[in-house]
Amino acid sequence: VDCRNSERIIHVMTMIRGAQGLSSTVQKAWFSLARAAAQHPTQSVQPLWNRASNPVDGAESTSSHRNDTGAVGGFTPLPQVRCHSTSSSQVRPASPEDDASAQAHALAGQLFRSSSEERGALTPAAIVDYLDRFIVGQHDAKRAVAVALRNRWRRSQLPKGPADEVMPKNILMIGPTGCGKTEIARRLAKLTHAPFIKVEATKYTELGYIGRDVEDIIKDLVENAHSLVRERLRERVAALTAGKAEFQILQSLVGEHTTTETLDSFRELYRAGDLDDRTVELDLPSDSPKNKVNLDSGIIMIDNLLDKKSPGKRTQRKKMKVAEARARIEELEADKHMSSDMVTKEALRATEQDGIVFIDEIDKIVGGGSRQVGSSVSSEGVQRDLLPIIEGSTVQTKHGNVNTDHILFVCSGAFHSVKPADMLAELQGRLPIRVELKGLVAEDFYRILTEPDNNMVMQHQALLETEGVMLRFTDSALHTVARVAEEANRLMDNIGARRLHTVLERLLADVSYNAPELVEEARRNGQSTYEYVVDDQFVLQIMFGLLQKQDLSRYVI
């Protein structure tokens, strides 16, 4: 065992905690063994294992975990192990707090390194290729956000001094509604694994008015980061928590003292999911109703304050399904591997260094010459409140102070009735990169219907296939749908790709409603499914009214 690698020792200790079939006494022995190996130089730790293999604690016996070879919990006696370490510190007993803290530090470090490695693999070309799978066209906008994301990783590779001086180049996306601005933001959120929040600029009011302040954007971003960090840490220990949940549930089902054959049989049923509907009784922490106080500074959980003064957690005997118990135990066990302080620290770091804020409808808070004075004053106030946050300031949150210097801001708007030049000059200067997205035409609509992964047509096909309806569009029908959508946008308000939803829902209204009856009739005729074909003539017949100006009001969204 190379005990100079402390992270390896912590990893071993983490695996031991989730090992199946180990009594708590043996687990404690393993923890002590690992800690002794990490702290005591060049000394055999075999005697420690010998003592652990023959516990004298009368309250818990390992006889039920001993196999034919005399091993405890399925483990063979430990071979001679010597530790090679440069440290000569004395061995001290391991405490649960130390173990939890060490695991939390190790997991947080692994999470930080893995996040950096993932971002390093996201080259600008790779990001654009990913966006091309879901968004048609708008190459300039994709390139702009790809370069902005890549610069985040480049900055993380710099020494601290130069890195502090590199500021993100915020982006302003200009384009008509339905051209892909929001979709780019949504796909980025799934791709980056970074704290990300999308907000509407119209939801916020000037400081001093009734409504949400713009600082709430950063507070919500921190909450998003906190949830993201906890979720990713849970994924890191998923295998360990799954093993612990399996052990506790099987122990409750078959009892502590049972044969290996019985335990193995139940384990096979458990892993196959055959026990998910069985009821199991477990001692779990009692769930008290969460009392909240909503103040301007955030939501305070009163129960959290009371729990800190409580001497211990209260447990309650509960009956629940095995599937529900598994999820509950995995959640509880995952929390044991996480230190709240480390989660908060990592969340604040991720917010400051990797956070992305997407502000949509930015044009709606830009006052033009034709707008009312009151509205113009309020809109200008929101813009002024945004200035320090986008430029860089410190925002107080319930988790701690957040510096916004290196948070990337992406703003978007249609700018139909106003121009970007109507924005405050200071705000324009804080959004140096401008990207104009193009309006969509019939060719773009056809590509939207056919090219993206899980496109609209595939979604409708999958939904109807669950009923037994096999939906098929001819190529000419898709071209006709694209032309109808373009014409409707020209005659009415241009809502971009969202018009396709209106057209497809109209085309498939009858088959969606009558699907069960159509499939039943097909089965009476000896067919297993019902085939529904949409051709160009059918599209023209159904959508004829949409092409008439006097009937367009029926399809206004």
3-state secondary structure 329-347: HHHHHHHHCCCHHHHHHHH
pLDDT higher than 70, residue 152? yes
Token code pair at residue 260: 């290996």
Phi, psi of 424 (to 5 degrees): -60, 140
Cα gap 354→120, rounded to integer Å: 13
Residues 6+ apart with CB under 8 A from 511: 464, 469, 471, 518, 532
Vertex 104, ends 98 and 110: CA angle to 5°?
A: 135
DSSP string, 271-319: HHTTTTTSEEEEEEE--PPPPEEEETTEEEEHHHHHHHHSSS--EEEEE
Give the β-pairing of 356-360 and 196-200.
parallel
Which of 284, 302, 395, 382 is CA-nearest to residue 348?
A: 395
Query: What's the number of CA atoms in the CB half-sphere (13 Å) around residue 521?
Result: 8
Using CA atoms of 495, 437, 360, 197 in order, give the dihedral in degrees to the nearest 10: 120
Residues 6+ apart with CB under 8 A from 113: none
Domain segments of the chain: what residues?
6-94, 112-229+348-436, 238-336, 442-555
Q: Is 137 left (phi over 0), alpha (psi -120 to 50) or beta?
A: left
pLDDT higher than 80, residue 33? no
Q: Of 33-37, 54-58, 477-481, which range is least confident?
A: 54-58
pLDDT higher than 60, residue 528? yes
User: Does the domain spanning 442-555 belong to CATH 3.30.70.20?
Assistant: no
163 burial type by CB count under 10 A (0-12 exposed, 13-18 middle, 19+ buried): middle
pLDDT band at 348 (very low <50, low <70, confident <90, very high): very high
Give the DSSP H or E segment for 252.
Answer: helix 238-254
Which of 413, 552, 418 is CA-nearest to residue 493?
A: 552
pLDDT higher than 60, residue 424? yes
Helix (H, G, I), strand (E, B) or coil at 313: coil
Give the β-pairing of 408-413 and 298-301.
unpaired
pLDDT higher than 70, residue 188? yes
Burial 210-225 (b: 16+ CB within 10 A, else e): eeebbbbbbbbbbbbb
Average pLDDT over residues 272-294: 69
Architecture of domain 112-229+348-436: 3-Layer(aba) Sandwich (3.40)
**Does residue 108 contact residue 346 with C-beta atoms inside 8 Å?**
yes
pLDDT higher than 60, residue 429? yes
pLDDT higher than 80, residue 392? yes
Token code pair at residue 420: 């970007």
Residue 118 confidence (pLDDT): 65
How high does pLDDT run on average in the chain?
75
57 burial type by CB count under 10 A (0-12 exposed, 13-18 middle, 19+ buried): exposed
pLDDT higher than 90, residue 473? yes
Token code pair at residue 349: 């770091």
Residue 312 confidence (pLDDT): 52
Residue 115 confidence (pLDDT): 57
Residue 231 confidence (pLDDT): 85
Cα gap 181→141, rounded to integer Å: 8
Helix (H, G, I), strand (E, B) or coil at 310: coil
Which of 446, 442, 468 is CA-nearest to residue 457?
A: 446
Residue indicated by tokens 């992406």: 410
pLDDT higher than 80, residue 376? no
DSSP class of residue 420 equals G
pLDDT band at 25 (very low <50, low <70, confident <90, very high): low
Cα gap 358→166, rounded to integer Å: 20
462 or 152, which is more confident: 462
pLDDT band at 255 (very low <50, low <70, confident <90, very high): confident
Residue indicated by tokens 């695991």: 103
Cα 275 to Cα 268, 278, 309, 328: the distances in Å are 10, 5, 39, 16
Cα 26 to Cα 48, 53, 102, 254, 449: the distances in Å are 11, 7, 20, 21, 60
pLDDT band at 295 (very low <50, low <70, confident <90, very high): very low
Cα 130 to Cα 126, 133, 138, 191, 211: the distances in Å are 6, 5, 13, 8, 37
Beta pairing partners, 82: 44
Q: Give me the count of residues in the chain.
A: 557
Residue 170 confidence (pLDDT): 92
Please compute Rg for the chain using Cα positions: 30
Q: Of 201-215, 307-321, 501-515, 535-549, which range is least confident?
A: 307-321
Report yes or no on whether pTM surpasses 0.85.
no
Residues 6+ apart with CB under 8 A from 311: none
Cα dihedral sign, 30-34-37-39: negative
